[in-house]
Amino acid sequence: MRARVLLSLLAVALVAAPFVVSGYLVSVLIVALYFAYVGQAWNIMMGFAGQLSLGHALYVGLGAYTAAALFVQSGVPPWLGLIAAIIVAMAFAAAIGFLAFRFGISGVYFALLTIAFAEFTRIGFDHFGWVGASAGLFLPVSQRSGSDLLALRGTPTMFYYVILALAAGAFALSRWLLTSRIGFYWMAIREDQDAAQALGIDTFRYKLAAVVVSAAMTSIAGVFFAFYYNNLFPEQIFSIGRSIEIILGPIIGGLGTLFGPVLGAFVLQLLAEALREGVSALGLEIPGLTQVFYGVCLLVVVMFLPNGVWPPIARRLRL
């Protein structure tokens, strides 16, 4: 009941936000919602099924590049490109998951394998002429007064509602998954894979499912990224730093929880933005400061709140 009320209040606040706050704050909220969304997607793989991916930027990049390249090179509309992006990401995820789980790779080796595939792909895209290689891929920005949702071209407010819908959808999907049969299988695998296997759960199949679902969701974020920012560089989108940014929200918020990724993303992005603003108000520009702040947040949370920020709050609110 309390959770329902909280959720409704949050929903109303977020839907109303663009009417109330400034354009600048809307852009900050877009970034926060973006990270809430990808965090939720990553959380399915790690928080639910216990498979640590440190290379999730791979799926963002694949999604972004597939839809953007189809759009730029052949004029394929973004929503069709989205389907292609999801298929490409799922195919990659299935291949990686298949290889890793078939060969019994887990723990640190699995995490390193995800990094290796992401890095491999990054360098590959750096030399992939059709998508602009390291010089980048640019989407034409047409000046429009209105918003065209079908062409994914429009004002920041339109993008705000798109990413809000995505984040809400991911939240709902995660919530449904958590109480479904597959969710219980995942949690059994997360807690003790051998025991899960002994109980007759096809661990190979369900781990693979977690990777593929998570990758599919993440690739959608990539398409959003491409059409919102209009430029793509392999160096940026596939870099390991991006993968780390994706996982900060859920870890700081609370791994495996529904609200954790959302809370983590908002707290982190809003604080980081406040920090950036504060520093630039002092007339300074310090590259790396935001990341140091992220690192310190992560360090403090991992050391003193190993389950994240959300669980203690949830207890306090008696949710």
Partner 1 sequence: MLIGHPPRPAIAMTFDLVLNVAAAGILTGLVYGLMALGLSVIFGVTRIVNFAHGEMMTAAMYGAVLLFATVKLDPLLAAIPIGAALAVFGYALQSAVINPFIDRPEHSQFMLMVAVAIVLVNGLLMIFGPNAQNVMVGYAFDSYQLGPLLIDATRAYAGAAALLVAGLLFAFFRFARLGKAIRACADNQFGAAVVGLPVKRLYALTFALGSACLGVAGCLLVLMIDVSPPLGPAMTLLAFVIVIVGGLGSMTGALVGGVLIGLSEALAGLVVPPSAKSMVSFAILILVLLFRPQGLVGRRA
Name which of residues 167 to 186 contact partner 1 (CB under 8 A): none
The span from the CA of 224 to the CA of 247, in Å, is: 18
**94 counts as binding partner 1 under rule CB under 8 A:** no
C-alpha triplet 294, 300, 306: angle, nearest 5°: 115
Encoded tokens for 240: 């390991």
φ, ψ dihedrals at 76, nearest 5° = -70, 130
d(C-alpha 107, C-alpha 281), whole Å: 44
305 binds partner 1 (CB under 8 A): no
CA 168/CA 170 separation, integer angstroms: 5
Instruction: Look at the chain and count its residues.
Output: 319
15 binds partner 1 (CB under 8 A): no
Give the nearer residue to partner 1 in terms of CB position, either 16 or 296: 296
146/287 with CB nearer partner 1: 287
Q: How far is the CB of 212 from partner 1 (least distance, A)?
A: 19
How far apart CA 189 and CA 233 sit, in angstroms, is: 37
Q: H-type helices in the chain, by residue range?
A: 2-20, 23-43, 57-74, 78-102, 107-126, 156-179, 181-191, 193-198, 203-229, 234-237, 240-253, 259-281, 289-304, 310-316
143-151, 176-184, 266-274, 292-300 -> range binding partner 1 (CB under 8 A): 292-300
- In contact, 208 and 35? CB cutoff 8 Å: no
Per-residue interface string for the shown chain with partner 1, residues 189-228, x marking contact by CB under 8 A: ----------------------------------------
Binding-site member from 303, 315, 316, 318 for partner 1 (CB under 8 A) = 303
40 or 53: CB nearest partner 1? 53
Q: Does 279 sit near partner 1 (CB under 8 A)?
A: no
Under rule CB under 8 A, residue 287 binds partner 1: yes
CA 21 to chain CA centroid, Å, is: 25
Report, in Å, the least distance between residue 11 CB and partner 1: 30
Number of residues that bind partner 1 (CB under 8 A): 43
For the beta carbon of residue 45, count every other beta carbon within 10 angstroms.
Answer: 27
- HSE-up (13 A, CA, CB side) for residue 11: 12
Question: CB of 241: closest distance to partner 1 in angstroms?
Answer: 7
Q: At what angle do helices 203-229 and 181-191 cross, to 10 degrees?
A: 110
Sign of CA dihedral 64, 83, 58, 265: positive
Residue 288 interacts with partner 1 (CB under 8 A): yes or no: yes
- Contact residue for partner 1 among 241, 280, 312, 317 (CB under 8 A): 241
Q: Which of 46, 69, 86, 139 binds partner 1 (CB under 8 A)?
A: 46
**Within 102-161, which residues bind partner 1 (CB under 8 A)?**
103-105, 107-109, 111-113, 115-117, 119-120, 123-124, 126-127, 134
The nearest distance, CB 43 to partner 1, in angstroms, is: 13
Answer whether 235's CB lies under 8 Å from 57's CB: no
Residue from 14, 209, 251, 265 in contact with partner 1 (CB under 8 A): 251
- Name the residues that contact partner 1, by CB under 8 A: 46, 52, 54, 99-100, 103-105, 107-109, 111-113, 115-117, 119-120, 123-124, 126-127, 134, 240-241, 244, 251, 255, 286-289, 291-292, 294-296, 298-299, 302-303, 306
